Chain A
Amino acid sequence: MNRHRSKLVLLASLVAAGGLSFLQPYISPYYFQIIIYIGINIILASSLNLINGFAGQFSLGHAGFMAIGAYTASVITTAMNLQPGTTLAIPMFLLALLCGGLIASIFGLLVGIPSLRLKGDYLAITTLGFGEIIRVIIQNLDFLGAARGFTGIAKLADFFWVYAFVAVLIFLIYNLIHSTYGKGFMAVRDDEIASEAVGINVTHYKVVAFVTGAFFAGIAGGLYAHFVTYINPSQFGFLRSFEIVVMVVVGGMGSIGGVIVAAILLTILPEALRAIAQYRMVIYSLLLIIIMLARPQGLFGGGISIKRFLKQNPEQT
């Protein structure tokens, strides 16, 4: 493997993100918003890809981790009354994001534990339930604004920070799966019994995947909250989780590039179809069905096919 290539690409991406952020005044706010959403969705989909695609644990609770990160970071920055442009704003914002990620990853650990016993559909349902529990709890916590939502969040997330985290996450996943250590994730996904037999600690890999995936979902939540400045529990419902899963499946489970492309396409598509408003979701779903029929391995198909994934017998030993 090339020793410094991935580090150079990371550096170049960060510089590019910094440079491109100066173009913001020349872009209409509507397009700018879509560009930010694309970045956030890339973080969400890529982090879920680590859990679903590489480690093979079908999780439907990603919006829950996102909500935890969003609320944690918002509570911190609001309590400190951070204002954009002040000296403390950026370091404290980053700290709040990291806290959001850490709390989300603690929950990732908690959700990861049932994944040691549950497989396939059963795990999917459990994680789906987890996401809903988080949403309902937030809906009933008054200090988080309950169902009214959390208002007055400072607009601290900008183009640079969103894409800096995109670059860091892609760098992390790329390095991880190209190492001997990281091959263990694919082995666990393919065959747990055979993995154990060659000395792979299956528990370790599943927990690491959940904790890391949840961490970045938390970061994405924090970025989202500090961009839209208003969050409420209904933004983090199970439909959001499904959207992220669809990006992973369409892009190709276990394919880094495919998932990025799918995140971009599936963020733009609903917007592009706004002109034919009432048929928007019909076309969107039709496209998904066609993609799944024509290319079950996903657009790029670097990893595994959803067909094989669903065929896997959970009780198989």
Chain B
Amino acid sequence: MSILSLQNCSIKFGGLVAVSDLCLEIEADDLLGLIGPNGAGKTTVFNFITGVYQPTSGRVVFNGKDLAGLKPHQISALGIARTFQNIRLFPSLTVYETVQVALRKNIRYGFMQAVVRPNSLFQQEREINETIKEILNFFGLLPYQREMATALPYGIQRRVEIVRALATKPRLLLLDEPAAGMNPAEKNELMGLIGQVREHYRCAVFLIEHDMKVVMGICERIAVLDYGIKIAEGIPREIQNNPKVVEAYLGEKA
């Protein structure tokens, strides 16, 4: 059964219809790509899945639950994590602390216990510490744990952002242009990373990407958006030869 289902979702900003009547199903073990020319509404789709915007009409159903009216942090708690097109790391936190923040929902204590520090707090903090070390180790970030996240090389920053999203234990991971600005070596590393993520975390991955090598290389299915309308969906080979897609990217034949 599908883990995320977009049912006739539309979103309007004033007179502009950014996304129109979008239907999309994502299975629990899917690796779905979303492509389309600039301004097609791809990031907007991510924004209404994660609660940054509310769709003007239509329903977003995650794991059998309607997401209407939920705030981004509530949607994160349900198991949807995301990265951002232009990396959004916390400038004053280290790599370790960045992952620690993402583990906020693992702790069962609140303000008062944080202040008076009962013994149970240390138990929980120890578990958090172990989890952070484990995650950082798995993704090869342990050497950077004390570095400020924003001071790292670009490719590593992308990695930290993906790891931060994964620390929330998502069942669906949304990646917004993960390969943007990467060199070929970094892109290959990224493709390996995404494979690793699916194997280890068993979550569905839904990614927006412009780099066709990456999209065609790893996605099992691809949906194409143009002017807010889904014009095609299918396996990479079908999409490559779909006349509508070619037209959206290259324009009509003269």
Interface residues, chain A, CB within 8 Å of chain B? Answer: 1, 3, 6-7, 171-172, 175-176, 179-184, 186-187, 189-191, 193-202, 208, 212, 254, 303-304, 308
B101 near A198: Cβ-Cβ < 8 Å:
yes
Q: Which residues from A are CB-within-8-Å of B71? A: 196, 201
CB-defined contacts of A3 to chain B, threshold 8 Å: 117, 119, 122
With A7-B117, A175-B117, A191-B88 known as contacts, the answer to whether A198 contacts B102 (CB < 8 A) is yes
A247 vs B110: C-alpha distance when bound (angstroms): 29
Stretch of B26-34, B58-66, B160-168 that contacts chain A: B160-168
Known pairs A202-B73, A208-B111; A183 contacts B101 (CB<8 A): yes
- A176 engages B114 (CB within 8 Å): yes
Q: How far is the CB of B97 from chain A (nearest CB, A)?
A: 6
Question: Nearest 10 pairs between A and B by C-beta?
Answer: A196-B72, A199-B76, A190-B90, A194-B88, A179-B114, A198-B102, A181-B114, A187-B101, A196-B73, A201-B73
29 sampled A-B residue pairs with Cβ under 8 A: A6-B117, A7-B117, A175-B115, A179-B117, A181-B104, A181-B113, A183-B104, A184-B101, A186-B92, A186-B101, A187-B90, A190-B91, A191-B90, A193-B72, A194-B89, A195-B73, A195-B101, A196-B76, A197-B73, A197-B76, A197-B84, A198-B81, A198-B104, A198-B165, A199-B105, A200-B101, A201-B71, A304-B91, A308-B91
- Is B128 interfacial (CB 8 A cutoff)? yes
Taking CB as reference atom, which chain A residue is nearest B126? A1
Inter-subunit contact A200/B107 (CB<8 Å): no
Task: Name the interface residues of B55-112: CB closer than 8 Å to any CB of A.
Answer: 71-73, 76-77, 81-82, 84, 88-93, 97, 100-107, 109-111
Residues of B in contact with A, size category = 35 or more
- The reply to whether the CB of B147 lies closer than 8 angstroms to some CB of chain A is no
List, in ascending order, chain B residues with CB within 8 A of A198's CB.
76, 81, 101-102, 104, 164-165, 167-168
Q: Please name the residue on chain A nearest to B77 by beta carbon.
A: A199
Give the distance to chain B from A10, nearest Cβ to Cβ, in Å: 10
Contact present for B91 and A180 (CB under 8 Å): no
A181→B165 contact, CB < 8 A: no
Residues in chain A near residue B97, CB distance under 8 A: 183, 186
Which of B73, B91, B124, B125 is packed against the most chain A CB atoms within 10 Å?
B73
20 further A-B contacts with Cβ under 8 Å, apart from A197-B81, A308-B91, are A1-B122, A3-B119, A175-B114, A175-B117, A176-B111, A179-B117, A181-B111, A182-B114, A183-B104, A186-B90, A186-B93, A186-B97, A187-B90, A191-B89, A193-B52, A194-B88, A196-B76, A199-B77, A201-B71, A212-B111
Q: For the complex, what is the distance from the CA of A171 to the CA of B51, rounded to whole Å? A: 37
Q: Is the interface of B mostly helix, strand, loop or mixed?
A: helix
Contact at A194–B107, with CB atoms within 8 Å?
no
Scoring A1, A172, A198, A202 by chain B CB atoms within 10 A of each residue's CB, the highest score goes to A198
B84, A1: Cβ atoms closer than 8 Å: no
- Bound together, the chains give a CA A199 to CA B166 distance in angstroms of 12
What are the residues of chain B within 8 A of A1 when measuring CB–CB?
122, 125
**A303 to B90 CA separation, bound complex (whole angstroms):** 12
Instruction: Flag if A199 contacts B115 (CB, 8 Å).
Output: no
Collect the chain B residues with CB atoms within 8 Å of residue A202's CB.
Answer: 73
What chain A residues lie within 8 Å of B100 (beta carbons)?
180, 183
For residue B111, give the distance in angstroms from its CB to the closest CB of chain A.
Answer: 6
On chain B, the residues within 8 Å of A6 by CB distance are 117
B22 within 8 A of A: no
Contact B93 A187 (CB under 8 A): yes
Interface residue? B218 (CB, 8 A): no
For A194, the chain B residues whose CB sits under 8 A away are 84, 88-90
Complex contacts, B124 vs chain A, CB 8 Å = 180
- Contact, CB under 8 Å: A184 / B125: no
Which A residues touch B89, using CB under 8 A? 191, 194
CA of A86 to CA of B203 in the docked complex: distance in angstroms?
68
Complex Cα distance, B92 from A81, in Å, reads 50
Instruction: Tell me the chain B residues, 141-172 only, with Cβ under 8 Å from chain A.
Output: 164-165, 167-168
| CA A209 to CA B106, docked complex, whole Å | 21
Name A179's closest neighbour in chain B (CB-CB): B114
Residue from B92, B104, B114 in contact with A303 in the complex, judged by beta carbons closer than 8 Å: B92
The complex places the Cα of A10 from the Cα of B232 at a distance, in Å, of 65
Interface-centre pick from B50, B51, B89, B114 (highest chain A CB count, 10 A): B114
* A172–B117 CB distance below 8 A: no
Output the residue of B50, B102, B119, B167 with the most chain A CB within 10 A: B102
Which of A181, A191, A202 lies at the interface centre, i.e. has the most chain B CB atoms within 10 A of its CB? A181
- Among A176, A199, A254, A304, the most chain B Cβ lie within 10 Å of the Cβ of A199
Asked if B121 is at the interface of the complex by the 8 Å CB criterion, the answer is: yes
CB neighbours (8 Å) of B103 from chain A are: 180
Whether A199 pairs with B168 at a CB distance below 8 angstroms is: yes
Inter-chain CA distance A241–B248, complex, in Å, is: 58
Give Cα A212–Cα B113 distance, bound, in whole angstroms: 14
Contacts of A303 in B (CB 8 A): 92
Q: Are B104 and A197 in contact, with the CB atoms below 8 A?
A: no
Known: A191-B88, A199-B73. A183 touches B93 (CB 8 A): yes
Q: Are A304 and B110 in contact (CB under 8 A)?
A: no
Complex: A189 Cα to B91 Cα, angstroms: 10
Question: What's the Cα separation between A197 and B84 when bound, in Å?
Answer: 10
Q: Measured between C-beta atoms, what is the minimum distance from A173 to chain B in Å?
A: 9
